[in-house]
Chains A and B, each alone.
Chain A
Amino acid sequence: MAESDRRLPVSLLVAGLIAVAVVSMVVDRRGVIERGREFPTWLGSLLDVAAPVQDAVALPFEAVRDAWSGYISLLQVKLRNDALEREVSRLSEENLQLREALVASGRLQRIADMRKHYEVPMLPAELVGVDASPWFRSVLVDRGRDRGVLSGMPVISEKGLVGLITATARHSAKAMLVLDRQTSVDGVIQRSRSRGTVRGRGSDELEFEFVARNSDVQVNDLVITSGLGGVYPKGLFIGTISEVSDPGTQLLQRATVRPAVDFGRLEQVFVMLRRGPTMELLYSTQVGDEPPSEPAGPAS
């Protein structure tokens, strides 16, 4: 390699490499915007190799973690079990009452009809690795194009919105979490229908930005996707408002959102293989005290 120093002017090489990197960024950015970021085989092979390797490397770490958490859990299992039994009894009773109320209002049938029309096929996927850089929040999942996963497909868990597939290889895919600074999702407060934009902050919390005037946003309000923009279906649970800042004289007000998903414990996700117009009713059954809102989509 020392000879190449003499043959090739280093400054020319630097300029060339910088140009390649910048052009690559511009092209990749366009791919993200147009949702066509499917890596060719030669490029995606690193992702395909990394996924099973990360899965294998994680095994001893997971074994240690599971053993430790199992030991800790055992210490408090009796107390927790008693508490859970009481909670199950209470929730069973509450569930029964809610179902009765739903049946009485005819909504249950409408929910069933809506699910028939709009149910979104979902592909379960395992998280095999997270972002190596502290400045980005993405994950690697073990399902790729061979299973129908494509860029732009939303990723959720049973708790709520996780993120979006941003790049795919043949057997794996990369998903950007909603926590990432590059992410913004059009959201709506379920209670007041106030609209705003949910942005990732790079931390474990999100930010809800909304127009201060005429908006009703309070602590403990639930934030769901609005469906605008067409990227995410309507009604996916994003998180709960944990703090509302004082707007002062600002036109835009900000609130902190605690994500519905515990990203630190995320292991399995679901890739939505196509988009449905609304899932709000499916999630609103988990809300608890609040009655489910009216379906926004057409109900038969």
Chain B
Amino acid sequence: MKRTSLILLIGIAAPVFQGVLNTFVPARFAPDLGFLVVIALGLHWRSTAGGLVLAATLGFAADLLSGSLLGQQALLRLLAFGVARVASGHLNLRGAVPQSFFVLGLTAINALGVATLNVFFTAGGGFDLVMLRDLLSHAVVNALFAAPVSRLVETVATSFGDDEGARRALRLTPRVRST
């Protein structure tokens, strides 16, 4: 419970703090901290069900503080959590470099998701050149911050656990299918 509360606090504080940061730094040059927390949850949180609920909750909190529709970022956070969860079971995502590349790709998927949902649910257009330009810089910044955020979430998952085995060990080697 303590662990969950702390993650919720960090996950909600992230977009609040970022709302201030983005008044000084253009959003495309700032990391999406809430998004990174959810990816780290996908990598490190032991319980899949608990992680899904946390990801959705943090997504709804981000929606409240953002111009998105209520549920839009929640849906994308669920996707990010799911992709991170599945990928962590098949890929070696231990270490800063693999995590950075993984977040780079996931940021692109997230941007495509935003554009797609905008087309379906709002008057906003789809993926365009402006979005591509923003994505390039934003993905790189996200990738740079991926490892520290992942470390923070991992620390919370291990240090503040109420039950044993709170931490979910990442695979060290990719799964190889036997022939």
Contacts and interface: CB of A to CB of B under 8 A. Distances in A.
Q: Summarize B's interface: helix, strand, loop or mixed.
A: helix
A21 B59 contact: yes
Contacts of B165: 2
Contacts of B73: 133
B66 A138 contact: yes
A39 B125 CA distance: 26
B52 A174 contact: no
A129 B69 contact: no
A138 to B, nearest CB: 3
B67 A21 contact: no
B173 interface: no
A25 B68 CA distance: 9
B50 to A, nearest CB: 3
Interface in A25-44: 25-29, 32, 39, 43
B16 A131 contact: no
Nearest to B24: A61
A24 B47 contact: no
B12 A46 contact: yes
Contacts, number: 181
A130 B118 contact: no
Contact of A24 (B14, B17, B48, B71): B71
Contact of A58 (B23, B53, B72, B74): B23
A138 B68 CA distance: 9
B154 interface: no
B71 A174 contact: no
Contacts of B49: 1, 4-5, 8, 10, 13
A86 B138 CA distance: 44
B42 interface: no
Given A129-B19, A182-B122, A17 B56 contact: yes
A22 interface: yes
A293 B58 CA distance: 51
Given A13-B49, A18-B78, A182-B123, A135 B131 contact: yes
Contact of A166 (B67, B71, B163): B67
A1 B50 contact: yes
A238 to B, nearest CB: 17
A194 interface: no
Interface string B73-99: 111001000100000000000000000
Interface in B108-166: 111, 114-115, 117-118, 121-125, 128, 130-131, 133-134, 138, 163, 165
Given A129-B65, A180-B67, A182-B122, A5 B48 contact: yes
A202 interface: yes
Interface in B16-32: 16-24, 26-28, 30, 32
A201 B114 CA distance: 14
B11 to A, nearest CB: 12
A130 B46 CA distance: 33
Given A65-B24, A133-B62, 8 more contacts: A1-B50, A24-B60, A129-B22, A132-B62, A135-B111, A135-B134, A174-B67, A264-B26
Interface of A: 1-2, 4-5, 8, 10, 13-14, 17-18, 20-29, 32, 39, 43, 46-47, 50, 53-54, 57-58, 61, 65, 127-138, 140, 166, 174, 176-177, 180-184, 199, 201-203, 264
4 closest Cβ contacts across the A-B interface?
A129-B19, A138-B67, A24-B71, A1-B50
